[in-house]
Structures are given as structure tokens and as C-alpha cells.
Amino acid sequence: MRVGMGYDVHKLVYDRDLILGGVTIPYEKGLLGHSDADVLIHAIMDSLLGAAALGDIGRHFPDTDNSLKGISSIILLEKVRDILASANYEIVNIDATIIAQKPKMALFIPEMVKNMSKALNISESQVNVKATTEEGLGFTGTGQGISCQSICLLEKIS
């Protein structure tokens, strides 16, 4: 068994869609990034790659690669799934926390879980997503950005 931890953060800006867990969330701002800037999926991908000691998303999907500009992070998550399978790892579970003052996430979490479990070919019961605010403190609390933390457990397939 191997444990991995992931963290990602992106700045909130106008004129971008807010996409988390592959769900477009109605909001006045979106996350800035080379891809769709899905901070939730990015943190999850880093936890998965880290647990397998396979680097991070920057190594596999660099922001200098123009073919990845604007790409859906769901597609990148599918690629991570394939990388893990090639290295003989199976996902046991994922637990992630979205840290954002606004907007409220609760209504969108079931669809996020569905999207990510489908992309990873695992059961929805293996993916947990929750959200919290920072009570107005820090860059997330003041609405400057959104961050996410993720932890996962992998098992080596013999």
C-alpha cells in the first residue's frame, strides 16, 4: 500500500469558467491556468502520481506544452489512470478537500465525484470530495484563489 498527498492552487480571474471536478460551476470568476485549471483534479492527480513515486503533473503535463493549452483536466486524469495501470497500481481510495470562500460547492460535489470516478474507472464510493471555507482568511478567504488538498491510497497489483 502507498499513500500520496497532492496540493494545488489557482488564481481566480474574470473571463474564465470555474471548473472543478469536471463540473462547470456558475460563478463570476474562474481559475487561471494553462489547462482548464481544475484545481481539484490537479491535486488528485498529484496525490496519485506521488503515491506511485511517478513525479507530478508538471513532469507529465508541463505548462510549456502548447498541445495541453485549455485541455480538460478530466482527459489528463484519464492519462494518469493509464500511467498508474502501466505501473501496476490500483486506486484504493481518494479523499480531497476544496478550499474556497465562494461559491458554495455542496450541490456540485456529487457530479464531481461521478465525473472523476468514471475517468478513473473506479466506484464512486472510492472518491470523497468535501469543501470548506477559510472564514475570510488568506488568499482563498478573500476570494483571490481556490486551493485543494488530496490524499490517496494505492495498492500494487502483483
Is 61 annotated to bind ligand? yes
Is 62 annotated to bind ligand? yes
Is 149 annotated to bind ligand? no
Is 108 annotated to bind ligand? no
Is 8 annotated to bind ligand? yes
Is 64 annotated to bind ligand? yes
Is 87 annotated to bind ligand? no
Is 39 annotated to bind ligand? no
- Between CA 53 and CA 143 the distance in angstroms is 33
- Between CA 57 and CA 26 the distance in angstroms is 27
- CA-atom Rg of the chain in angstroms: 15
Location of C-alpha cell 474562474: 30
Is 134 annotated to bind ligand? yes
Is 103 annotated to bind ligand? yes
Concatenated DSSP letters of 7-68:
EEEEEEESSS-EEETTEEEP-S-EE-SSS---HHHHHHHHHHHHHTT---HHHHS-TT-GGG
Is 133 annotated to bind ligand? yes
Is 126 annotated to bind ligand? no
- Between CA 1 and CA 90 the distance in angstroms is 10
Is 132 annotated to bind ligand? yes
Is 9 annotated to bind ligand? yes
Is 65 annotated to bind ligand? yes
Is 60 annotated to bind ligand? no
* Binding-site residues from annotation: 8-10, 34-35, 42, 56-58, 61-65, 100-106, 132-135, 139
* Binding-site residues from annotation for a divalent metal cation: 8, 10, 42
